[in-house]
């Protein structure tokens, strides 16, 4: 059954989508146990209101430390908090201690801050909103003036509305999965003035 949250108890900011990045060091030899644990908790999370999905980033085969990064999203802070305080999550957290070596690193971002996920070891409450706006503006401008104009040239035979409908999703995907992760890593000391890791 999905967990309900009364709209009257939320503010506009709390109703923004929220992204959580969790990093854990898995004990050698327990990778299969941990991956099965992830599959089970991710499946149960689908029963919660506002759950938008999970991405799992396993360590590279040659990595000396078995560090897993999990990115999951909810459509609002109240729905995330309902999951965080649920009996389901508490039960799974008590189980995962058997498979990991240390406390997890937990980082939350809201709204479009998922474009500004910090590099590993840079965990702060929020990046600078003014600097996020500046970086996003510059990247968008470059995208429009390069990719947008190039695609627009080749799709000139389409009506403007349809041409925009084709180009815009491609630009968003390129920003989300290619440009913004690299820009964030390059500008992390400027976007995230404080770089103190937080563990929970």
170 and 91: one domain? no
Tell me whether residue 116 is in a domain: no
145 and 89: one domain? no
Q: Are 22 and 106 in contact (CB under 8 A)?
A: yes
Instruction: Report pLDDT digits (tens) over 113-159.
Output: 555 555 444 444 455 667 777 888 888 888 888 888 888 888 888 88
Tell me whether residue 6 is in a domain: no
Helices (H) and strands (E) in the chain, counts: 7, 4
CATH number at residue 20: 3.30.70.100
What pTM value is reported for the model? 0.50
pLDDT recorded at residue 22 = 85
81 Cβ contact list (under 8 Å, min separation 6): none
Percentage of the chain with pLDDT > 70?
A: 70
97 and 135: one domain? no
Q: Are 118 and 107 in contact (CB under 8 A)?
A: yes
- Lowest-confidence pick of 7-21, 26-40, 48-62, 158-172: 7-21
Q: Among the three residues 102, 121, 145, which one is the final residue of a domain in this structure?
A: 102
135 and 73: one domain? no
Q: Among the three residues 83, 102, 121, which one is the final residue of a domain in this structure?
A: 102
Q: Among the three residues 85, 102, 119, which one is the final residue of a domain in this structure?
A: 102
93 and 27: one domain? yes
Q: Which domain holds residue 16?
A: 12-102
Tell me whether residue 45 is in a domain: yes
Question: Look-up: residue for tokens 């991405």?
Answer: 55
Residue 38 clears pLDDT 70, i.e. is over it: yes
98 and 134: one domain? no
Count of structural domains, the chain: 2
């Amino acid at each position: 059954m999905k967990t309900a949250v009364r709209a009257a108890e939320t503010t506009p900011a709390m109703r923004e989508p929220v992204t959580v990045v969790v990093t854990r060091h898995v004990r050698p030899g327990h990778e299969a146990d941990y991956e099965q644990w992830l599959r089970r908790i991710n499946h149960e999370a689908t029963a919660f209101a506002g759950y938008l999905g999970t991405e799992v980033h396993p360590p590279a085969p040659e990595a000396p430390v078995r560090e897993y990064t999990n990115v999951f999203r909810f459509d609002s802070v109240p729905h995330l908090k309902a999951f965080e305080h649920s009996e389901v999550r508490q039960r799974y957290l008590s189980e995962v201690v058997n498979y990991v070596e240390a406390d997890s690193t937990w980082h939350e971002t809201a709204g479009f801050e998922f474009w500004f996920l910090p590099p590993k070891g840079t965990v702060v409450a929020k990046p600078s909103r003014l600097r996020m706006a500046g970086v996003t503006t510059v990247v968008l401008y470059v995208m429009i003036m390069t990719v947008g104009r190039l695609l627009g040239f080749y799709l000139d035979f389409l009506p403007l509305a349809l041409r925009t409908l084709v180009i815009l999703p491609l630009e968003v995907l390129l920003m989300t999965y290619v440009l913004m992760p690299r820009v964030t890593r390059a500008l992390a000391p400027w976007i995230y003035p404080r770089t103190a890791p937080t563990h929970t």
